[in-house]
Structure 1
Amino acid sequence: MDKLLISNFAASLFALLNPLGVLPIFIGYSAGEKRNVQRWLALFVALTALAILLVFFFAGSSLLKFFGISLDSFRIAGGILLLIIGIGIVNGDSSKAAKNVAAEDQNSDFRAAQLVYRKIVIPLAIPLLVGPGVIANVVLYASEAEAKKDDALFAGLIGTIIVICFLVFVIFLSGRWLQKVVGDVGLNIITRILGLLVAAIGVQFMITGLSNIIVGTLVPEILKVR
């Protein structure tokens, strides 16, 4: 088993998921909820991220090929979605949706968390946590394990995904503590700043995707014509 490969995968996966960067946005969506509801939400989002990562780990390249979707096309689509979401966060729309949904059911923390989760699974789980970069990273390392035909390495990479998603869950659980430290005004400022960054990330995704398509597809075609 290649321990260096696994450690590199763990470091890159955690950096690309960036749960610390997504945490203020999670807090913005769940700030008005009870602690138990926030715990359920953190669990739901972490499990969703885990499920998506495992799906792309086992069938990522085949899935994209089946639908005829290139990674750059996926990156552009994710960038457009992030841009729209980032604008909404800057305008203060992120927490309102969660609070309105939670008001539908005050009797069950689990049920309230389900209702909020339906509204925030996008963008939190995908594409903020599991974006094109994360998917590309997972597909790349899965292909590496397949090429080496190392079952221990394959299992180690799966275990790494599970551990990292557990860390995401733990980090999101700390959201209540952060909310107490910075206060409502500070949280509002942080959330809007992060909204601006989310929009900028979306624009960067689109630029990267378009650049790769132009350089990798259009330029060779133009040179052929000449």
Structure 2
Amino acid sequence: MLFDFISAALVTLLVTLDPVALAPIFVSLTRGMNAAERRRVSMRACLIAFGILAFFGLGGEVLLRLLGVGLPAFRISGGMLLFWIAFEMVFERRNERKQHTADIAITEDHIRNVAAFPLAIPLMAGPGAITAVILLAGRAYGNIVHLTSLLILIALGIVSCFVVFSAAERVSRWLGVTGNVVLTRLLGVILAGLAVQFIIDGVLALLRAPAA
């Protein structure tokens, strides 16, 4: 029973977190940062994502129900915010105020902001991962061993993201300035598609929900 729960949870978390797919997005979001700054972003994002997923695993469904907020609404709002980030990536709006070398310095606030949004949420701890964690916690039926196993598996999934982000630094150096610019534009388009899919999923979930 425990083995079945662990195996199902591990596969589900790895699929929803999808660390490999996050690597090129991480490179684009941290363009212009040095290795130490990228490491700080990845560590902060992973800690935030773990905290969010652990929270929702232990009591997120209850909180959302008390607040009257449904996961479909979370999908729609997250998708809209993600689409704005994609728009900025495609049209280079993120660097409009950084045309000269002296203006490209990475500030502490920028590092914190990128780590929290959009990296930690909604890219890592997004609607899919949160939904998966809530459903897996429901399958634990309050069993402390199962819930502890779930928290450990969430931590392992986040660690896998950190490992992939660390390797992404070498990819960034290999691409160079031109390669990073091209990759940013391309991934902006892909990110826009992902954002629209979040919105569509949220709308469809609302349409399928029974009338109150």
1:134 equivalent among 126, 129, 141: 129
Counterpart of 2:47?
A: 47
Task: Structure 2: give runs of 5+ residues left out of the alignment.
Answer: none
Which residue, 96, 103, 108 being the options, matches 2:105? 103
Alpha-carbon distance in structure 2 between the residues aligned to 1:10 and 1:101:
43
- The one-letter code matched in structure 2 to 1:131 is G
Q: Could you say which structure has the larger radius of gyration?
A: 1
Note the C-alpha offset of 1:63. 1.4
Q: Which amino acid aligns with 1:92?
A: E
Q: Tell me how far apart the structure 1 counterparts of residues 33 and 196 of structure 2 sit (CA, whole Å).
A: 31
Counterparts of 1:57-206 in structure 2, within 5 Å, are: 57-94=57-94, 103=105, 112=107, 114-120=108-114, 121-145=116-140, 147=141, 149-206=142-199
* Structure 1 residue 154 displacement after superposition: 1.6
TM-score normalised per structure 1? 0.83
Q: Give, as a single letter, the amino acid of the residue that structure 2 aligns with 1:198.
A: L
The alignment-based identity, stated in percent, is 30
Give structure 1 regions of 4+ aligned residues with deviation exceeding 3 angstroms.
Answer: 93-102
Q: Hey, what does 1:207 align to over in structure 2?
A: 200
* Inter-CA distance 97–212: structure 2 relative to 1 (3 Å threshold): farther
Distance of 1:38 and 1:19 partners within structure 2:
16
How has the CA–CA distance of structure 1 residues 131 and 76 changed in structure 2, closer, same or farther, with 3 Å as cutoff? same
CA distance in 1, matches of 2:49, 2:97: 21
TM superposition shift of 1:135: 0.6
Q: Relative to 1, partners in 2 of residues 1:212 and 1:48: Cα closer, same or farther, differing over 3 Å?
A: same
Relative distance call for 1:194 and 1:216 in structure 2 (3 A) is same
Per-residue CA shift, 1:88-111, capped at 9, x if unaligned? 11112346789988727xxxxxxx
Q: How many residues align?
A: 209
Q: Is the 8 A contact 1:31 1:95 kept in 2?
A: no
Hey, what's the Cα distance between the residues in 1 that align with 2:3 and 2:20? 25
Q: Is the 8 A contact 1:102 1:116 kept in 2?
A: no
TM-superposed CA distance for 1:73, in Å, is 1.1
User: Aligned Cα RMSD in Å?
Assistant: 2.4
Query: What is the distance in 2 between the residues matched to 1:95 and 1:213?
Result: 37
CA contact (8 A) 2:13 2:129 kept: yes
Aligned residues of 1:28 and 1:94 also touching (Cα < 8 A): no
